Amino acid sequence: MSAFLALLKRDLMLSVRQGGALGTALGFYMLVVTLLPLGLGQDLNLLSRIAPGILWIALLLAALLSLGRVFSSDHEDGTLDVLATGRMPLEMVVGAKALAHWISTGIPLALTAPVLGLMLNLDIAVYPLLMATMLVGTPAVSFIGAVGAALTLRSYRGGLLIALLVLPLYVPTLIFGMAAVNGLLGVSGTSAAMLILAALSLTSVVLCPFAAAAALRVQMQ
Shorter beta-carbon distance to other proteins: residue 6 or 164: 164
Q: One-letter amino acid identity for 87?
A: R
User: Closest separation between CB of residue 172 and other proteins, Å?
Assistant: 7
d(CA 214, CA 218): 6
Closest CA to 138 of 185, 184, 101: 101
Note whether 110 and 134 are within 8 A (CB). yes
DSSP-derived letter for residue 179 is H
User: Closest separation between CB of residue 157 and other proteins, Å?
Assistant: 5
Q: Encode burial over 105-123: b for 16+ CB neighbours within 10 A, e otherwise.
A: bbbbbbebbbebbeebbbe
User: Closest separation between CB of residue 118 and other proteins, Å?
Assistant: 28
Size of the chain, expressed as the number of residues it contains: 221
Shorter beta-carbon distance to other proteins: residue 9 or 154: 154
- Please give the C-alpha separations between residue 55 and each of 111, 123, 136, 163, in angstroms, as whole numbers: 11, 13, 15, 18
User: Closest separation between CB of residue 189 and other proteins, Å?
Assistant: 10
d(CA 20, CA 70): 14
User: Closest separation between CB of residue 116 and other proteins, Å?
Assistant: 24
What residues make contact with other proteins under the rule CB under 8 A? 147, 151-152, 154-157, 161, 164-165, 167-169, 171-172, 175, 211, 214-215, 218-219
Q: One-letter amino acid identity for 104?
A: S
Shorter beta-carbon distance to other proteins: residue 14 or 185: 185
Note whether 114 and 132 are within 8 A (CB). no
